[in-house]
A and B are shown apart, each in its own frame.
Chain A
Amino acid sequence: MSAPKSTRFLTLDTWAVLLALAAAVLVHFGILKNVPW
């Protein structure tokens, strides 16, 4: 299976880390409060 390996500046891994950190910051500052499951 093929996944997007990298973009011009950042790798797939780095994008994943940035997205997760952004979500963590939103949760920490209460912008993202309830995440249902």
Chain B
Amino acid sequence: MASASAIPLAPITTPERGSLLKRTAGLVPGILLLAAVGYGGKFIEHTISVYGKAHHLVLPNIEYVLWAILIGLVISNTVGVPAIFRSGVATYEFWLKTGIVLLGARFLLGDVQRLGGLSLVLIAIELALALTFMTYLGRAFKLKPKLVSLLAVGSSICGVSAIIAAQGAIDADEEDSSYAIAAILALGAVSLLVFPLIGHALHMSDRAYGLWTGLAVDNTAEATAAGALYSDAAGKVAVLAKTCRNATIGFVVLGYAIYWASKGQAEVVTNKAAFLWRKFPKFILGFLLISLLSTVGFFGKPQLLALGNLSRWAFLLTFAGVGLRTNLKELGKQGIKPFLVGAIGEVVIALITLGLVYGADHWYHL
């Protein structure tokens, strides 16, 4: 993914720049930094808990997730991330996807079907409302039409990944894409702090909160973190709901591609099935496969625990990356209008999805 807001793109995607071994070795320092920051967060959580117990104090239980993100934010916004670490830090999304696939072991396929089916219904409603609202909002603020499309896709489906997928399909400017990504990333950072507070204030159940986070928070990494900040169970549900939302990327991007092609401003999509397959996030298939294996009893109880813990380690690297890749100064340099449209849209989408989740909780007893 490319973004104007953070660390420059790692060169590991360019085969001619060196052997696979050399490029892989180049990732090591950054991955070690992710591990150090993530483990630092875990260490702080543990230390506070031990200190509280030793001194008979009731200290707030702040999860390692928040500490890891905060440490990353401090590094990124003070000394910055040195070049040697950047390509490795950029792998945080790889760890996110690995963690999600492994998390599949903790879901029986029946749960996936039940909760995933419900999520898909809510997502369909959310998508229709959010895309329409964002389109009118962008027009009201007189933003460029393709920037409006990117913001709508980014805030209604899947943040950065969806914007990247849409950018190529609708032939949008690099600059528009950067604006949209910056707005989505900034709002994702805000949602990390705001969502858990609202969830606690409304006394939401783990399932209801997880579903809300999965439906409303844009980036998968931020949705996972916002869920995990509430509770482990909420984090699981957030990942499942967000994964369902990610599965719709292809369809929405295809819709926009056809729309812009009809206006002669994007390439015509000739093979729609191939287009959908190309845009479909393949890690979802891995998640379903592991969930299927778990359902048929391929793993014993201790093995499920081991896979769950492996997933947690992968997420720990992800959360460190969320902090390290967020450069508040760079985010501030982006135009105020796209940010404002994104912010208003996010608030409205959060309220719509909150209403949907409350409705689902009332009718289906989450």
Verify A20–B94 contact, CB threshold 8 A.
no
Looking at chain B's contact residues, the main secondary structure is helix
Say whether, besides A1-B3, A4-B91, A24 and B12 are in contact (CB < 8 Å). no
Interface residue tally on A, bucketed by range: 20 to 34
Closest Cβ–Cβ distance, residue A37 to chain B (whole Å)? 4
Q: Are A2 and B9 in contact (CB under 8 A)?
A: yes
The answer to whether B281 touches A3 (Cβ under 8 A) is no
Contact of B7 among A2, A6, A15, A20 (CB under 8 A): A2
Decide if A3 touches B92 in the complex (CB within 8 Å): yes
- Residues B154-205 near A (CB distance < 8 A): 160, 164, 185
Tell me if B10 and A20 are in contact (CB < 8 A): no
B233 contacts partner chain A, Cβ-Cβ < 8 Å: no
Chain B's nearest CB lies how many Å from the CB of A2?
4
Task: Report A5-20 residues with CB < 8 Å from chain B CB.
Answer: 5-8, 11-17, 19-20
Q: Is B102 an interface residue (CB 8 A)?
A: yes
Of the candidate stretches B208-216, B265-273, B303-311, B345-353, the one touching chain A is: B303-311
The interface stretch among B113-121, B283-291, B356-364 is B283-291
Q: Is the C-beta of B93 less than 8 angstroms from some C-beta in chain A?
A: yes
Q: How long is the Cα–Cα vector from A15 to B27 in the complex, in angstroms? A: 15
* Residues in A whose Cβ lies below 8 Å from that of B302: 33
Once the chains are docked, how many angstroms separate the CA of A30 from the CA of B302?
10
The reply to whether B299 and A21 form a contact with Cβ atoms under 8 Å apart is: no
Give B348 Cβ to nearest chain A Cβ, in Å: 25
Q: Contact between B7 and A1 (Cβ–Cβ < 8 Å)? A: yes
- Look across to chain A and name the residue whose beta carbon is closest to the beta carbon of B280: A13
From known contacts A13-B281, A16-B94, infer whether A2 and B1 are also in contact, taking CB-CB under 8 Å. yes
Shortest Cβ distance from A33 into chain B, in angstroms? Answer: 7
Which residues in B have their C-beta under 8 angstroms from that of A19? Answer: 98
A34/B282 in contact, CB under 8 A: no
Q: Are B1 and A3 in contact (CB under 8 A)?
A: yes
Is residue B13 contacting chain A, with contact meaning CB distance below 8 A? yes
- Closest residue of chain B to A11 (Cβ to Cβ) is B282
**In the bound complex, do residue A20 and residue B290 qualify as a contact, i.e. CB atoms below 8 Å apart?**
yes
Find out whether the CB atom of A35 lies under 8 angstroms from the CB atom of B185. no
Neighbouring A residues of B160 by C-beta, 8 Å: 1
Q: For B91, give its contact among A3, A7, A11, A23 (CB under 8 Å).
A: A3
Task: Contacts A1-B3, A13-B281 given; indicate if A21 touches B286 (C-beta within 8 A).
Answer: yes
Q: Which residues of B contact A27 (CB under 8 A)?
A: 299, 303, 306-307, 310
Chain A, residue nearest B307 (CB): A27
Contact A21 B290 (CB under 8 A): yes
CB contacts (< 8 Å) of A14 on chain B: these are: 282
B228: chain A residues at CB < 8 Å are none
Whether B5 contacts A1 by the Cβ 8 Å rule is yes
Decide yes or no whether B237 CB sits under 8 A from chain A.
no
Residues of B within 8 A of A1 (CB): 1, 3, 5-7, 90, 92-93, 160, 185, 321, 325-326
* Chain B proximity of A15: nearest CB distance (Å): 7
**A24-B94 contact given A1-B160, A13-B282, CB 8 Å threshold:** no
22 A–B pairs (Cβ distance < 8 Å), ordered by A: A1-B1, A1-B5, A1-B92, A1-B185, A1-B326, A2-B9, A5-B164, A7-B13, A8-B15, A17-B97, A17-B101, A19-B98, A20-B102, A20-B286, A21-B286, A21-B289, A23-B310, A24-B102, A24-B307, A27-B299, A32-B310, A35-B310
Please list the 5 inter-chain residue pairs (A to B) with the smallest Cβ-Cβ separation, ordered nearest first.
A17-B286, A16-B97, A20-B101, A1-B325, A2-B9
Inter-chain pairs besides A27-B306, A35-B313, 10 sampled, C-beta below 8 Å: A1-B3, A4-B94, A5-B164, A6-B13, A11-B282, A16-B101, A17-B283, A17-B286, A21-B286, A23-B307
